[in-house]
Amino acid sequence: MTTPKETRLIEKMMDQKNMVSACSKVVRNKGAAGIDGMTVNELNPFLKKNWPKIKEHLLNGTYKPKMVKGVEIPKATGGTRQLGIPTVMDRVIQQALHQVLSPIFDPRFSNSSYGFRPGKSAHQAVEKAREYQAKGNRRVVDMDLAKFFDEVNHDILMARIARKVKDKKILRLIRSFLQSGVMGQGLEEQRIKGTPQGGPLSPLLSNITLDDLDKELERRGHSFCRYADDCKIYVRSRKAGERVLESITNFVEKKLKLKVNQKKSKVTRPWKSKFLGYSFTFEKSPRIKVSKESIKRFKMKLKQAIRKGRGMNLKKFIEDPLNIILRGWINYYRLSEVKNSTEELDGWIRRRLRLILWRQWKRPWTRRKRLMNAGLTEERAVMSAFNRRGPWWNSGASHMNQAFPKKFFDSCGLISLFDKLCDFWKEISGTAVYGTVRTVV
């Protein structure tokens, strides 16, 4: 039997305190404009003029969201993924919806679901995955959901929501967001399935959709970690893994009406797989490390940034944008217990910065002068400046390493990924943990 509170959820969503909080979060998150071109800076003047009419439509159950703006972004594994950018006003309403729906659904979600939940994080998921391996689960079922956000069945999702939400106006509003079309490259596309990534409500809807999968895995007693649509199941043998993969694939495709990518789904060793940008070592007590793919993507990002910094003053470029990029990366990958990769990255970054200097000098006589100013003898400076080798070779040669060692870049304020990682482990353990250290200039 439904209670009055369950049927008046729309009023709770429209509460002034809830709406003000939603507006503040949307403005704070910034983000691009939707198809109407309105930016977050224009939100407050728009609301002062139009809020009474919008509020009336919401309370009457007649509010119609605008189409989302379709944007293609590159995927880390190749190809592209479509994001749907709602208008700023629709983002506010989605955020207000999220704030009243999350307390209803989140407490009932599985403890093994870590994505987009208060008190949960990607770091917790990675540490739990390591814990499963240390207990003897030396195989991982790596199940890939094909185009998950494009395949969500609206009827199944709405049925899941209706289990807990009885307010018909709220249900109608959610369905209207699900069915709002996509505008991409001047073409309108109506949606009969899927929920676009990009709106504040999308993460919660994805967790509601996959909650039945979590409950099924728990019922079977499996050790698993799920972050959004990235799900890893840890088992003790290949045979068990193949059996789990087959049975869970049947469950996902028949019960949830989602598609499993058979080519990418596999049973493998955890250290041959990646999870949320991390991987693991092969020891019985595995250590967490940064995956090779993550390092490769990071280098590509740094190359693009450094290419733009060729004409900048080196110290200013290090301060912004380079240090901002480095700080964000190491804050996420601070769980890594294998330090060699960060030490090698530091050396690679310093070589890239030496490359900037070498190219900025341009003429051999300028290079000779700069090398001498940095402490090289005149004879060595002349030989180095006139060696006719390419810029990349010179950036890694001994004369540039001697003239501009690590301490030079430290004086410029360059963040050392290796030092930051060691500081983090020293902070949490009380002792310095350095691993294998090599001298990298």
pLDDT of residue 75: 66
pLDDT of residue 117: 93
> Two tokens at 246?
């087959």
Each residue of 163-172: b (16+ CB within 10 Å) or e?
eebbbebbbe
- What is the bridge-based pairing of β-strands 68-74 and 182-184? parallel
pLDDT of residue 7: 55
pLDDT of residue 77: 60
Closest by CA position to 213, among listed 225, 198, 196, 203: 225
Rounded average pLDDT over 300-315: 91
pLDDT over threshold 50, residue 3: no
Question: pLDDT (tens digit, 9 = 90+) per residue, 374-418?
Answer: 999 999 999 999 999 999 999 999 999 999 999 999 999 999 999
Q: What angle do CA 309, 311, 317 make, to 5 degrees?
A: 40
Of 69-73, 224-228, 359-363, 409-413, the least confident: 69-73
CA distance 355 to 306: 10
> Two tokens at 36?
């109407």
Q: Is residue 112 a contact partner of residue 128, using CB atoms and an 8 Å limit?
A: yes
CA distance 332 to 386: 43
Phi, psi values for residue 271, rounded to 5°: -80, -5
pLDDT of residue 369: 96
> Two tokens at 302?
């740094």
pLDDT over threshold 70, residue 438: no
pLDDT of residue 430: 61
pLDDT of residue 212: 94
Confidence of residue 302 (pLDDT cuts 50, 70, 90): very high
Of 31-35, 65-69, 151-155, 183-187, the least confident: 183-187
CA distance 117 to 227: 10
pLDDT of residue 71: 81
pLDDT over threshold 90, residue 20: yes
pTM of the model: 0.88
Q: What angle do CA 37, 40, 42 make, to 5 degrees?
A: 75
pLDDT over threshold 70, residue 350: yes
Closest by CA position to 26, among listed 167, 218, 276, 201: 201
Q: Is residue 395 a contact partner of residue 354, using CB atoms and an 8 Å limit?
A: yes
Q: Is residue 91 a contact partner of residue 27, using CB atoms and an 8 Å limit?
A: no
pLDDT over threshold 90, residue 437: no
Rounded average pLDDT over 174-198: 78
pLDDT over threshold 80, residue 188: no
% pLDDT > 90, the chain = 76
Residue 402, judged by CB atoms within 10 A of its CB (0-12, 13-18, 19+), counts as: middle
Q: Is residue 69 a contact partner of residue 103, using CB atoms and an 8 Å limit?
A: no
CA distance 416 to 406: 9
Of 271-275, 346-350, 426-430, the least confident: 426-430
pLDDT over threshold 50, residue 24: yes
pLDDT of residue 288: 96
Residue 189, judged by CB atoms within 10 A of its CB (0-12, 13-18, 19+), counts as: exposed
Q: Of 310 and 415, which is predicted with more confidence?
A: 415
Chain-wide mean pLDDT for the chain? 90
pLDDT of residue 434: 43
pLDDT over threshold 70, residue 334: yes
CA distance 264 to 256: 19
Q: Of 160 and 4, which is predicted with more confidence?
A: 160
CA distance 405 to 75: 36
The strands making up 230-235's β-sheet, listed across from edge to edge, are: 223-227, 230-235, 139-144, 266-268
Distances (CA, A) of 181 to 68, 81, 86, 225: 6, 17, 10, 33
pLDDT over threshold 90, residue 61: no
Distances (CA, A) of 167 to 2, 177, 201: 9, 16, 17
Question: pLDDT (tens digit, 9 = 90+) per residue, 416-434?
Answer: 999 999 998 888 776 444 4
Neighbours of 23 (CB within 10 A): 20
pLDDT over threshold 70, residue 186: no
